[in-house]
Amino acid sequence: MKPKCDCLNFCGDDPHIDKGLVRPCPTFQQETARKRLHDAAPDLLASCKELINCADHNRDMAEIRRARAVIRQVEGK
């Protein structure tokens, strides 16, 4: 099992996190998830708008697949 990260001056500054040698602490994991969600917000909004349009116009399912891909990205999967 990997040891927990050992941040020195601020959360996430342990150089072993990026190399995968340590297990990131819960605070770092939450911050990373928050940043992913923040970065994906414009795509999520656009996808939601297109889903509404698809439902209204019975268009193909490409936008639903796009929305699912964005959600997987945000969730880090």
pLDDT, tens only, 1-16: 777 777 777 777 788 8
Residue 6 is assigned to a structural domain of this protein: no
For residue 4, the SS3 value is strand
Q: Is the pLDDT of residue 55 over 70?
A: no
Residue 11 is assigned to a structural domain of this protein: no
Residue 29 is assigned to a structural domain of this protein: yes
Residue 45 is assigned to a structural domain of this protein: yes
The CA distance from 76 to 29, in Å, is 11
Q: Given the structure tokens 């342990």, which residue do they identify? A: 14
pLDDT recorded at residue 39: 92
Angle at 73 between CA 62 and CA 14, to 5 degrees: 170
Q: Is the pLDDT of residue 20 over 60?
A: yes
Q: How many domains does the chain have?
A: 1
| HSE-up of residue 63 (Cα within 13 Å, Cβ side) | 18
